[in-house]
Amino acid sequence: MANVSMAQFHQVFFEESLEGLDNMETALLALDEGGDKELVHTIFRAAHSIKGGAATFGFPEMSAFTHEAESLLDELRDGRRPIDKPIIELLLRSVDCLRGMFARAQAGQPLNDEAAEALRGELAAAMGREATTEVKARRSGDRADAWTVRFRPHPGMAASGNDPLRLMRELKALGEMKVTADLDKLPALDKLEPGECHIGWTIELRGQVKRDTIKGVFDWVEDECDLSIEPLHVVAPPAAAEAPKAAVADVATARAAREGAPAASAESSSVRVSIDKIDSMIDLVGELVITQSMLDQFRENFDIAKLAMLQEGLTQLARHTRELQESVMGIRMLPIGSVFNRFPRLVRDLSAKLGKNVRLDMHGEHTELDKTVLEKIGDPLVHLVRNAIDHGLEMPDKRRAAGKVEQGTLRLEAFHRGGSIVVEVADDGAGLNREAIVAKAVQRGLISSGEGMSDEAVAELIFQPGFSTAAVTTDLSGRGVGMDVVRRNVSDLGGSVTIRSTPGKGSVFTIVLPLTLAIIDGLSAAVGEESYIVPLVSIVESVQLKTEAIRSVAGGGELFRFRGEYLPVIRLHEVFGCAGAVRKIEDGLMIVVEGEGTRVGLFVDGLNGQQQAVVKSLEANYRRVQGVSGATILADGSVALIVDIAGLVRLQSRRKAA
Amino acid sequence: MAKILAVDDSASMRGMVAFTLRGAGHEVSEAENGQLALDQAKGGKYDLVLADVNMPVMDGISMVRELRTLPEYKGVPILMLTTESHTDKKMEGKAAGATGWLVKPFDPEQLLATVNRVLG
């Protein structure tokens, strides 16, 4: 029963422990950089918590492993062992190992593997001994069938919360007692301090009790009393095998507990919310209730003289609703620091492997992002960072030859801009090599020649599928996963990636992400009887065209000229089969949109205006539809589909190919 | 039924302790470090305080020391939740004024037994 109730805390334990491991890693890396020795305390505390939790929640292997790491940390903390590179390396590997154990624990798999066992041995070896086994043989202590216990508390004992009466009660539970009080130290009444203990006792305890059991009663007050425990009669010592058997049984129960609760490993994801956020929401709800009751009075008796008040109330209602909306959305927002955290380690390992000297400069870790965005932005960022170290930053000798400092700088920064979050990955490396890119693109058949192409257009080429400029494919960033995948991932999140590069000075990759996925800013466009929402972020501009501006191409496609470029036309009424839509180009409107770096014109009847749309999943309620990212409910209660620009562009190019 | 304050920086530990004690009919408040616990203890009188040793901001031992300077917490049982690898911490806690300790790992039954021991 107790074990069943324990399982409900596993998820919290996993989450806080993984967070603790992140903190350990960060602190270890800072120590590696010559950081404050105080950091050892932080690391120790994290390991200590994990060990305690692992033991409590039935993960003895994890607890045993952490125990070794903790002992080593304890020696570092006390200064008994110097903190050097090999030790930090070993502890970093222990962090990784524990992460693996947690992953297996969450998946309900056996925790220990050979690597973990070997690393545990390494930790012990670092302390000059063998790994301890957690089986503790408890001393059983001698037995007697009657004892004399002399107990005299020190005057201050009760102040520590130890009531002598409680101790007597516990002793009484062990057997039959005969107690004599010793009053010789009792002061005169006028000198008596009521909170102090002045009486001593001699207790004759009859029963089959071990000395340790009696001692256990007094374990908390050993240092606060005079105590002697003497046998009245001695009996033969008991069988010795008892203790280890008990320890084995403990491990077995713990294992059974874990196996007995497989349901606990089926996680539902959760968010930790700061109390401040919740408090502010409660305040806002309070405000809403007040406004509501104020508006309520107009229901019964309204005359036109109160119109101003009614309007005032409605304005207030609108404001509070908006604030509450922002506040509720805020619950899903988490600092990007949790994603940035992995980079110090990554940069350290990677630059060491490549023989480069790289300094990582991170800013804006507190910038908050929607949890879903946060979970999916990690991989693209890892790719960009790897790319910057692998291809962007030069080797130290090359940098020196170019008159730069040997240490390259990689800047990772997150900040707000308008209604978006911007994440930049910048390096002060060589910048993009125009010739190499053009040559590669020609070789790949992406373009016929680079002549007349702007630098921006050349830079865009690296986002084309299957593009890679590295002469030798390394195992780091050249695994066929290109920048096109980065762009695809980011655009799936409703964001965009662009690059700005200066030869010899470096490159900046800029990722622009929406604040949240749950609400988007969009333009509502009319197509026949229907309305469609076009996300504002993807709109370049809207133009009204004459029919002559449209050129038909072979295969039924249409193009129009926009700022020196020919863009394909996508007629929304054709894609979605809307009846009664405008067909003549000059009667409708062309919305120029951009998705995955490609611009197209969306032909619609006209615009209804800008609005915020609460995104409802189409997949969850119906099924996935190509070219549509979701649906929303309009102010009049009707449903509008949200256009997925990137999806439409893909749809269009497939149709073109067919 | 007693008013109990559970102090631990680990949410899972705190949750387990609070859940177990509430299940036994006690009224449990939670705090995630010594400082917060101290503020809370000043606001209302608790019959028992259970505190972890290693915590950020203010550790359990400093917290006990501070608590014992308050007249209303003289003689109130305070138990340290400690791990067996740190027997010295038990004594340090005692010197600061703790009533006793409960060694981690403990299960709900052990927790209840110890709590009942001090509450009588």
- Its ipTM equals 0.78
The 3-state secondary structure of A97-147, one letter per residue = HHHHHHHHHHCCCCCCCHHHHHHHHHHHHHCCCCCCCCCCCCCCCCEEEEE
What share of chain A has pLDDT > 70, as a percent? 87
Q: CA of A13: which chain B residue's CA is closest?
A: B12
Give pLDDT tens digits for A531-545. 999 988 788 899 998
Q: For A398-421, what is the mean pLDDT? A: 88
Q: Look at residue A258 in the predicted model and tell me its pLDDT.
A: 40
Q: For A345-360, what is the mean pLDDT? A: 89
Name the superfamily (CATH) of residues A519-657.
CheA-289, Domain 4 (2.40.50.180)
Q: Is A370 exposed, middle or buried (0-12, 13-18, 19+ CB in 10 A)?
A: buried
Q: Look at residue A132 in the predicted model and tell me its pLDDT.
A: 62
Among the listed residues B7, B18, B1, B11, the one whose alpha carbon sits nearest the alpha carbon of residue B111: B18
Asked whether the predicted pLDDT for residue A553 surpasses 90, the reply is no
Contacts of A379 (CB under 8 A, 6+ apart): A489
Q: CA of B8: which chain A residue's CA is closest?
A: A49
Find which of A67, A71, A160, A168 to mutate to test the B interface (most B CBs within 10 Å of its CB).
Answer: A160
Among the listed residues B67, B87, B86, B69, the one whose alpha carbon sits nearest the alpha carbon of residue B78: B67
- Angle at which helices A85-106 and A60-77 cross, to 10°: 160
B15 in reach of chain A (CB within 8 A): yes
Tokens at residue A502, please? 């200066």
Q: Look at residue A465 in the predicted model and tell me its pLDDT.
A: 73
**Residue pair A69/A44 in contact by the 8 Å Cβ criterion:** no
Asked whether the predicted pLDDT for residue A237 surpasses 60, the reply is no
The CATH classification number of A1-136+242-252 equals 1.20.120.160
Q: Using CA atoms in the order A86, A90, A91, A96, what is the torsion angle rounded to 10 degrees?
A: 140
Q: Helix-strand-coil percent breakdown of chain B, rounded to 5?
A: 50, 20, 30
Asked whether the predicted pLDDT for residue A252 surpasses 50, the reply is no
CB atoms within 10 A of CB B39: 10
Calculate the CA A488 to chain-centre distance. 22
Q: Look at residue A247 in the predicted model and tell me its pLDDT.
A: 39
Q: Look at residue A5 in the predicted model and tell me its pLDDT.
A: 60
Q: CA of B76: which chain A residue's CA is closest?
A: A161
More confident call, A418 vs A657:
A418
Return the minimum-mean-pLDDT range out of A106-110, A406-410, A514-518, B63-67: A514-518
Tokens at residue A306, please? 């109160």
DSSP calls for A376-397: HHHHHHHHHHHHIIIIISPPHH
Q: How confident is the model at residue A129 (pLDDT cuts 50, 70, 90)?
A: confident
**Residue pair B1/B28 in contact by the 8 Å Cβ criterion:** no
Query: Residue A574: helix, strand or coil by DSSP?
Result: helix
Of B54, B98, B107, the CB nearest to A2: B107
CA angle centred on A9, ends A4 and A14, rounded to 5°: 130
CA distance A577 to A584: 16
Asked whether the predicted pLDDT for residue A261 surpasses 80, the reply is no
The CATH classification number of A335-514 equals 3.30.565.10
Q: How confident is the model at residue A232 (pLDDT cuts 50, 70, 90)?
A: confident
Q: How far is A191 from chain B (nearest CA, A)?
A: 20
Q: Do A71 and B94 touch (CB under 8 A)?
A: no
Q: Do A13 and B100 touch (CB under 8 A)?
A: no
Q: Look at residue B84 in the predicted model and tell me its pLDDT.
A: 63
Question: How many interchain CB pairs under 8 A, A with B?
Answer: 107
B45 in reach of chain A (CB within 8 A): no
Q: Look at residue A250 in the predicted model and tell me its pLDDT.
A: 43
Sheet holding A358-363, edge to edge: A358-363, A408-417, A420-427, A506-514, A496-502
Q: For A44-52, what is the mean pLDDT? A: 88
Q: CA of B69: which chain A residue's CA is closest?
A: A159
CA distance A467 to A32: 37
Q: How confident is the model at residue A418 (pLDDT cuts 50, 70, 90)?
A: low
Q: Do B107 and A10 touch (CB under 8 A)?
A: no
CA distance A181 to A153: 12
What share of chain A has pLDDT > 90, as a percent? 17
Q: How confident is the model at residue A253 (pLDDT cuts 50, 70, 90)?
A: very low
Asked whether the predicted pLDDT for residue A201 surpasses 80, the reply is yes
Q: Look at residue B88 in the predicted model and tell me its pLDDT.
A: 74
Tokens at residue B6, please? 């559970």
Of B13, B85, B109, the CB nearest to A2: B109
Tokens at residue A558, please? 């249409």
Q: Do A9 and B83 touch (CB under 8 A)?
A: no
Find which of B5, B8, B16, B86 to mutate to test the A interface (most A CBs within 10 Å of its CB).
Answer: B16
Q: Using CA atoms in the order A193, A196, A200, A206, what is the torsion angle rounded to 10 degrees?
A: 140
Q: How confident is the model at residue A133 (pLDDT cuts 50, 70, 90)?
A: low
CA distance A480 to A486: 12
Q: How far is B104 from chain A (nearest CA, A)?
A: 6
Of A49, A55, A56, the CB nearest to B9: A49
C-alpha Rg value of chain A to the nearest Å: 36
**Contact list, A102 vs chain B (CB under 8 Å):** none
Asked whether the predicted pLDDT for residue A259 surpasses 80, the reply is no
In chain B, the domains with their CATH numbers are: 1-117 (3.40.50.2300)
**Contact list, A165 vs chain B (CB under 8 Å):** 120
Asked whether the predicted pLDDT for residue A300 surpasses 50, the reply is yes
Q: Do B118 and A166 touch (CB under 8 A)?
A: yes
Please report where in the chains the tokens 């490159």 appear, as a residue: A507
How many Cα atoms sit within 13 Å of A338 on the Cβ side?
A: 20
Pairing label, strands A358-363, A408-417: parallel
**Contact list, A45 vs chain B (CB under 8 Å):** 9, 54-56
Give pLDDT tens digits for A5-24. 677 788 889 988 999 999 89
The architecture that CATH gives domain A143-236 is 2-Layer Sandwich (3.30)
**Contact list, B85 vs chain A (CB under 8 Å):** 67, 70-71, 74
Q: Using CA atoms in the order B22, B24, B26, B29, what is the torsion angle rounded to 10 degrees?
A: -30
Among the listed residues A197, A131, A200, A203, the one whose alpha carbon sits nearest the alpha carbon of residue A174: A203
Contacts of A273 (CB under 8 A, 6+ apart): A331
Q: Do A9 and B105 touch (CB under 8 A)?
A: no
Q: Look at residue A267 in the predicted model and tell me its pLDDT.
A: 43
Q: Do A48 and B54 touch (CB under 8 A)?
A: yes
- Angle at which helices A164-172 and B108-119 cross, to 10°: 120
Q: Do B23 and A5 touch (CB under 8 A)?
A: yes
CA distance A586 to A604: 11
Q: How confident is the model at residue A414 (pLDDT cuts 50, 70, 90)?
A: very high
Q: For A86-112, what is the mean pLDDT? A: 88
What residues in chain A have their Cβ under 8 A from chain B's Cβ atoms? 2, 5-6, 8-10, 12-13, 16, 42, 44-45, 48-49, 51-53, 55-57, 63, 67, 70-71, 74, 136, 158-163, 165-166, 169-170, 195, 219-221, 223-224
Find which of A40, A56, A275 to mutate to test the B interface (most B CBs within 10 Å of its CB).
Answer: A56
Q: Which residues pair with A150 in a beta bridge?
A: A202, A228
Find which of A1, A220, A253, A273 to mutate to test the B interface (most B CBs within 10 Å of its CB).
Answer: A220
Gap between the terminal Cα atoms of chain A: 63
Q: For A239-266, what is the mean pLDDT? A: 40
CA distance A57 to A2: 11
Phi, psi of A152 (to 5 degrees): -130, 105
Q: Do B10 and A13 touch (CB under 8 A)?
A: yes
CA distance B5 to A571: 66
Q: Look at residue B77 in the predicted model and tell me its pLDDT.
A: 93
Give pLDDT tens digits for B4-39. 999 999 989 999 999 999 988 899 999 999 999 999
Top-confidence range, A115-129, B52-66, B73-87? B52-66
Q: For A582-606, what is the mean pLDDT? A: 88
CA distance readout (Å), A324 to A26, A276, A349, B32: 35, 14, 44, 28
**Residue pair A303/A364 in contact by the 8 Å Cβ criterion:** no
Q: For A190-217, what is the mean pLDDT? A: 83
Q: Look at residue A142 in the predicted model and tell me its pLDDT.
A: 64
Asked whether the predicted pLDDT for residue A473 surpasses 70, the reply is no
Q: For A339-353, what is the mean pLDDT? A: 88
Of A12, A56, A67, the CB nearest to B85: A67
CA distance A85 to A69: 16
- Average pLDDT taken over every residue of chain A: 81
Give pLDDT tens digits for A490-510. 887 878 888 998 888 999 999
